[in-house]
Amino acid sequence: MRSSSKQVGSYENRSSACTKSELFRELVAHLRLNRAPLREEWARRIHEAELLTAMSSEEIFMEATAIYDNYVKVLETGIVKDLQAYARDLSRRIIHRGVETHEVLGIVLLLRDVLARSLFGKYHGDFELLRRVFDAYEPAANRIANTVAVSFVEQRERVIRRQQKALQILHVQEEERKRISRELHDELGQALAAINTHLALVQRECVGDQDAELRTGIADVEKVLVGAIERMHGFARALRSAALDDLGLLPALRSYLKDYAERTGLLVRFERSAKDASLNAEQKTALFRIAQESLANVAKHAQATEVVVTLGFAEDKMQLRIKDNGKGFVVSQQRTAVEKNRLGLLGMQERARLVNGRCLVQSAPGCGTTVMAEIPLADANPSVSTDAFPLARNEGSRAC
């Protein structure tokens, strides 16, 4: 009892001696000292509340670390400008991952609660001091939550407007690609085919030895013309796959992979585990363009001998995965200007973001590269199959 009285007395002395600024510095120091266990408790609460489900566990850990440190820093400074800058930075990092406004507010309120419980555990022996601690903490914590929520909503609206504008631009570009592709295929293709037919007729009309040299010349021209027709058709398909518009994503990918395997000589395997998923035109185009860019990178940079393309359905998302057995690279280097220009990773990631998806890259030197694109589906119950097949030699690839 005597020691208990001394302890209460010490709390009372501290309670009267501590100024508000000193108290605030003390509680901030406590939160910094207990950073690791408090952050772990917060991450556990986030998981239990089923928040940030659009992010991987690794992403949640990285953001939890950054958010916790910034939160404590803002508590210490209390500067509105710092609060707003922190909220905008948080918004820029997580909006494109599909995080909703209520989730952002939820994780900030959870962190406020976790820290409040920790402060209660530290100061509950002196109710007067505890009251003063919460009088100092709660207004700042509420201010952070409100600022983050408002800034997130504002940033989200800016992102949505920017995405809508970008989608309109991409739509115009794709329509122009479609128009040029069809003109190449229909107009120029038909003209070249007609020229080839006339040359064949002229060649048949040439008789006798005196026309032998002319027939040889016509045959040479026909070979050049056939090659030009094939290249023109290749350009048309590269601009815009007719199969994508007429038949859908699955046939378009299979057709493209057949041509790709024939052109590059790579061993190509196409695995599919979903059919008839409800993808709109923008989503189909995004996945097809991501596949094109990824495969172009494999051919140009990977020094690979084999690539596996998988189109599958997982939960409420369509997943496209391109995995090669090439030389790989250090993923962090993709942030440099050289890597951005060389690999086109930003373009793939931006295409996925514009349709509320995401594009992730995993690689390491000597371990190949995997590009994973995920697109949310409107219909979460597509018919599913487990087909997996190589593109056979007679389809333009070497056999697996």
**Token pair listed for 320:** 């496209």
**Nearest one of 371, 375, 389, 369 to 314, comparing CA atoms:** 375
pLDDT tens-digit map of 17-61: 457 677 778 888 898 999 999 988 898 888 888 888 777 777 788
CB atoms within 10 A of CB 48: 9
* Spacing of C-alpha 41 from chain mean position: 28
Chosen CATH of 2-166 out of 3.40.50.10600, 1.10.490.70, 1.10.3720.10, 3.20.20.140:
1.10.490.70
Stretch(es) of the chain classified as CATH 3.30.565.10: 248-400
Distance CA 71, CA 89 (A): 12
How far, in Å, are 167, 320, 322 from residue 369 at the CA level? 28, 14, 8
pLDDT at 5 over 50: no
pLDDT at 338: 40
pLDDT band at 65 (very low <50, low <70, confident <90, very high): confident
Virtual torsion, Cα 35, 41, 46, 52, nearest 10 deg? 40
Q: Is the pLDDT of residue 306 over 90?
A: yes
- Residues of the chain above pLDDT 90, percent: 8
CATH class of 248-400: alpha beta
Pinpoint the residues of the chain covered by CATH 1.10.490.70: 2-166
- Of 11-20, 75-84, 141-150, 181-190, the one with minimum mean pLDDT is 11-20
Say if residue 323's pLDDT is above 90: yes
Secondary-structure percent of the chain, ordered helix, strand, coil, rounded to 5: 70, 10, 20
Query: Pick the residue with more confidence: 167 or 295?
Result: 295
Residue 296 to residue 164: CA distance in whole angstroms: 27
User: Between the ranges 109-113, 193-197, 351-355, where is the mean pLDDT highest?
Assistant: 109-113
DSSP 8-state code for residue 390:
E
Supply 22's token pair.
């000193």
Query: Is pLDDT above 90 for 309?
Result: yes
Q: Among all chains, which residue has been given the structure tokens 């007719």?
A: 242
pLDDT at 1 (0 to 100): 41
Beta bridge partner(s), residue 311: 272, 320
Q: What pLDDT was estimated at residue 126?
A: 84
Tens-place pLDDT, residues 171-227: 777 667 767 766 666 666 677 777 777 777 777 767 665 567 677 777 777 777 777
* pTM more than 0.75: no
The CA–CA distances, whole Å, from 163 to 178, 290, 319, 386 equal 22, 17, 21, 35
Q: Kindly tell me if the per-residue pLDDT of 159 is higher than 90.
A: no
Q: Are 222 and 230 in contact (CB under 8 A)?
A: no
- Report pLDDT for 18: 54
